[in-house]
Amino acid sequence: MNALTATNRNFRYAARILGLDSKLERSLLIPFREIKVECSIPKDDGSLATFVGFRIQHDNARGPMKGGIRYHPEVDPDEVNALAQLMTWKTAVAAIPYGGAKGGIGCNPRELSMSELERLTRVFTQKIHDLIGIHRDVPAPDMGTNSQTMAWILDEYSKFHGHSPAVVTGKPIDLGGSLGREAATGLGVFFATEALLAEHGKSISNMKFAIQGFGNVGSWAAKFFHEHGGKVVAVSDITGAIKNPNGIDVPALLKYKKSNKSLNDFQGGNAMDLNDLLVHECDVLVPCALGGVLNKENAADVKAKFIIEAANHPTDPEADEILSKKGVVILPDIYANSGGVTVSYFEWVQNIQGFMWEEEKVNHELKRYMMSAFKDIKTMCQTHNCNLRMGAFTLGVNRVAQATLLRGWE
């Protein structure tokens, strides 16, 4: 099942639980605006290349729209639509004053030089500058983009609108980026896991963790679990997978990965099959990589008691049902990985105030937001007698529906 079908299904189920009016339900599902632009740039060899850029702005009832920009050859409009919609519910669950958006350019960033990427980013910004803005739509990095991409967007946008650091988040620190932003999603995953385990009378220490994906989110989450006494027993990324039943030395692995760009041949554990990670013996499974990795083929073999969805949409609805029947507790992506967008919000606030925070304050506020959202989700679960995914979806959808009605709908 693709991401859009699954997201729509979750939304409709939540709308049914909440008893939403069918006209309002339809209105909430349809994106506010879809933008598609042609981006032509001269390549370094003098030839002309043309790419398609787009931005889907899903909803702005609760505030400016917010979401990443990805550079990827397979930019699928359906998936982007689903991710824009997920951002609407995610920002509502986190109780930050944003709506949802997502965008990108269909290109392979690995095949473009630095100067080509810069020209492409600037042309894209020129095409959409009047449709984004501090109080309209605030982009952020995503797959294939980074803080440098944001710096180019900021510079190009500022040529039209004057210096506007709050127009994008995920910027370099020197241009108004927030301290703590890099670790934010991984730290949010850690706080979310801590809240869930406490609910079940357990703590991070001595729990066994298996982590799929060792990029930004997975590596930070592993570091925090390790520091708080958790045992990371298996880790994988696209280069390979390793396991150690006594716990992997995470700082040593981080150092190894930094110098070797790979997990292969790391001495502190044994190599294992990439596909075995999801069904590895552990207490807590943390998928931090791609969507759709838990499906009807492997769900029955999952041994973890808790799944923390650090990736977007890692669990197919079919897998969801199989896992629920087994009694596996799943902490849904729209809450579990909302640390990133929450600290993006802090960055935006700091830029608007023109006053930057200490990293300690950023992390303290992040913990407060994550704990508060978990309490709100649990309240929805009790009110509607539903699981955590529906608790989160009903919470998010209800907040957006209320804002829509209050602003005057119909």
What CATH number is given to the structural domain containing 205?
Answer: 3.40.50.720
Last residue of a domain, one of 165, 192, 212: 165
The answer on 199 and 161 residing in a single domain is: no
Rounded to a whole number of angstroms, the CA Rg of the chain reads 21
Instruction: Kindly report the number of other CB atoms within 10 A of residue 15's CB atom.
Output: 22
Domain membership of residue 245 (yes or no) is yes
The answer on 119 and 41 residing in a single domain is: yes
Q: Is 375 annotated as a binding residue?
A: no
DSSP letter, residue 25: H
Domain membership of residue 51 (yes or no) is yes
The answer on 332 and 189 residing in a single domain is: yes
Q: Is 261 annotated as a binding residue?
A: no
The answer on 153 and 212 residing in a single domain is: no
pLDDT, position 1: 60
Report the candidate in 202, 192, 210 with the shortest Cα–Cα distance to residue 277.
210
Residues acting as catalytic residues: 102
Q: Is 216 annotated as a binding residue?
A: yes
The answer on 287 and 157 residing in a single domain is: no
Contacts of 369 (CB under 8 A, 6+ apart): 94, 95, 96, 342
Domain membership of residue 307 (yes or no) is yes
What CATH number is given to the structural domain containing 90?
Answer: 3.40.50.10860
In angstroms, the first-to-last Cα distance of the chain is 33
Contacts of 300 (CB under 8 A, 6+ apart): 322, 326
The answer on 157 and 41 residing in a single domain is: yes
The answer on 107 and 56 residing in a single domain is: yes
pLDDT, position 128: 96
Q: What is the pLDDT along the chain (410 residues), one digit of tens a residue?
A: 677 888 888 999 999 999 999 999 999 999 999 999 999 999 999 999 999 999 999 999 999 999 999 998 887 788 888 889 999 999 999 999 999 999 999 999 999 999 999 999 999 999 999 999 999 999 999 888 999 999 999 999 999 999 999 999 999 999 999 999 989 999 999 999 999 999 999 999 989 999 999 988 999 999 999 999 999 999 998 888 999 999 999 999 999 999 988 888 888 889 998 888 899 999 999 999 888 889 888 899 999 999 999 998 899 888 999 999 999 999 999 999 999 999 999 999 999 999 999 999 999 999 999 999 999 999 999 999 999 999 999 999 999 999 999 999 76
The answer on 329 and 186 residing in a single domain is: yes
Domain membership of residue 299 (yes or no) is yes
Q: Would you say how long the chain is, in residues?
A: 410
The answer on 34 and 141 residing in a single domain is: yes
pLDDT, position 7: 86
The answer on 187 and 331 residing in a single domain is: yes
Number of domains in the chain: 2
The answer on 142 and 258 residing in a single domain is: no
Cα–Cα distance for residue pair 315/80, rounded to 1 Å: 17
Q: Is 296 annotated as a binding residue?
A: no
Last residue of a domain, one of 279, 309, 336: 336
pLDDT, position 83: 87
Domain membership of residue 292 (yes or no) is yes
Domain membership of residue 14 (yes or no) is no
Last residue of a domain, one of 293, 314, 336: 336
Q: Are strands 329-331 and 65-72 parallel, antiparallel or unpaired?
A: unpaired
State the DSSP string of 346-390. Answer: HHHHHHHHT-PPPHHHHHHHHHHHHHHHHHHHHHHHHHHT--HHH
Q: How far is CA 276 from CA 56, 157, 267, 273, 302, in A?
A: 36, 46, 19, 5, 10
The answer on 243 and 126 residing in a single domain is: no
Q: Is 90 annotated as a binding residue?
A: yes
Q: How is residue 352 written in tokens?
A: 């608007």
Domain membership of residue 84 (yes or no) is yes
Q: List the domain range (segments joined by +) for residue 256.
A: 182-336
Domain membership of residue 227 (yes or no) is yes
Instruction: Kindly report the number of other CB atoms within 10 A of residue 215's CB atom.
Output: 14
CA neighbours closer than 13 Å in the CB half-sphere of residue 47: 4
Place of tokens 């539903």: 386
What is the side-by-side strand order in the sheet with 329-331? 270-272, 240-243, 231-237, 208-212, 284-287, 306-308, 329-331
